[in-house]
Amino acid sequence: MSCLAGKLETDVEINAPSTKFHEIFKHRPHHVSNHASDFVQGCDLHEGEWGAVGSVICWKYFHDGKPKVAKELVEAIDDENNTITFKVLEGDLMEHYKNFRITIKCIPNGDKESVIRWSVEYEKIHDEIIDPHTLLEFFNDLSKDLEKHLAA
């Protein structure tokens, strides 16, 4: 029997300041679809306000060849370390996982470059569910798409 809980990470190097990447996910996640529409089709605020811990947002995204949704709680924001954590409350991921958290850490690498560390922590419903490696690929591709806008 395999372990039901896990954590995966990927680092993505981008040619854009870490603060810009952090700011778009903190204050303007609804703009992500304007710059990476192949991956994200929209982001709506359901409760609270943009950029505030405790707010609830709903992402519409395209992953593994299908349109999907994720309703997420903004669980933590650390501006000093350019980190934001989302806890998935509802949506497609919750069909396979009891718990799912996504953390984005934007690490400066010089003045105009960054390393974006995407971490997912999860607990599967049962041991036949595969680890979410394709979601890390999605985050990698999304980061590279956003890089084009944020580097400008």
* Backbone φ, ψ for residue 142 (5° rounding): -60, -45
Reported pTM: 0.94
In angstroms, the CA 115 to CA 13 distance is 4
The distance in angstroms from the start CA to the end CA of the chain is: 49
User: Does 65 score more than 50 pLDDT?
Assistant: yes
Q: How confident is the model at residue 112 (pLDDT cuts 50, 70, 90)?
A: confident
Burial state string for 31-42 with b = 16 or more CB within 10 A and e = fewer than 16 = ebbebbeebbbe
Q: What is the DSSP string of 13-81?
A: EESS-HHHHHHHHHH-GGGHHHH-TTTEEEEEEEES-TT-TT-EEEEEEEETTEEEEEEEEEEEEETTT
Determine the pLDDT at residue 1: 45
Higher pLDDT, 69 or 150: 69
Determine the pLDDT at residue 2: 58
> Across the chain, what does the average pLDDT equal?
94
Determine the pLDDT at residue 152: 63
Q: How many other C-beta atoms lie within 10 A of the C-beta of residue 97?
A: 21
What pLDDT, in 10s, does the model give residues 79-108? 999 999 999 999 999 999 999 999 999 999
Bridge partners of residue 56, in order along the sequence: 47, 73
In angstroms, the CA 41 to CA 3 distance is 33
User: Does 61 score more than 80 pLDDT?
Assistant: yes
